[in-house]
């Protein structure tokens, strides 16, 4: 089945807001979080992803030309694998990572091998 309402691969900046939010917030309330808590410009065209306390819902917010677009997904079962808030309130993602998150993958586990930097062998 095709997925038409997903973040596009061409999105320049995608940020995951780690702490849970009050899901009664609409676009203006989410834009206020972006501006006040993150210090980002909510009108710059970046996508911001938010979740509720139970991690069963996700909202994505971005500015498109002349208004906010609000993407909302509520799971019928299970939970989103949301990265912990341990090292900051926001996490930069790629378009592939946000779509993996929407598909139910734990993006904190999707890391490649560590980079090794060796000097001379002898």
pLDDT in tens, 11-20: 779 999 999 9
Whether 19 and 89 have beta carbons less than 8 Å apart is answered as: yes
Residue 18 CA to residue 48 CA, distance in Å, equals 10
pTM, to two decimals: 0.82
**How far is CA 107 from each of CA 8, 21, 30, 51, rounded to the nearest angstrom?**
18, 20, 23, 15
Name which of 119, 12, 2, 107 is nearest 58 in CA terms.
107
Reported as a single tens digit per residue, the pLDDT across 61-98 is: 999 999 999 999 999 898 988 887 666 688 889 888 88
Which pLDDT score is estimated for 87?
62
Residue 95 CA to residue 118 CA, distance in Å, equals 32
């Amino acid at each position: 089945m095709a997925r038409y309402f997903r973040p596009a691969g061409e999105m320049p900046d995608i940020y995951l807001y780690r702490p849970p939010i009050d899901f009664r917030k609409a676009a203006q309330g989410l834009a206020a979080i972006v501006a006040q808590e993150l210090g980002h410009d909510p009108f710059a065209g970046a996508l911001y992803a938010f979740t509720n306390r139970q991690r069963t819902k996700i909202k994505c917010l971005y500015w498109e030309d002349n208004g906010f677009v609000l993407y909302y997904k509520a799971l019928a079962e299970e939970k989103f694998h949301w990265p912990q808030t341990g090292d900051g309130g926001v996490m930069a993602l790629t378009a592939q990572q946000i779509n993996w998150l929407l598909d139910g993958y734990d993006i904190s586990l999707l890391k490649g091998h560590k980079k090794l930097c060796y000097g001379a062998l002898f």
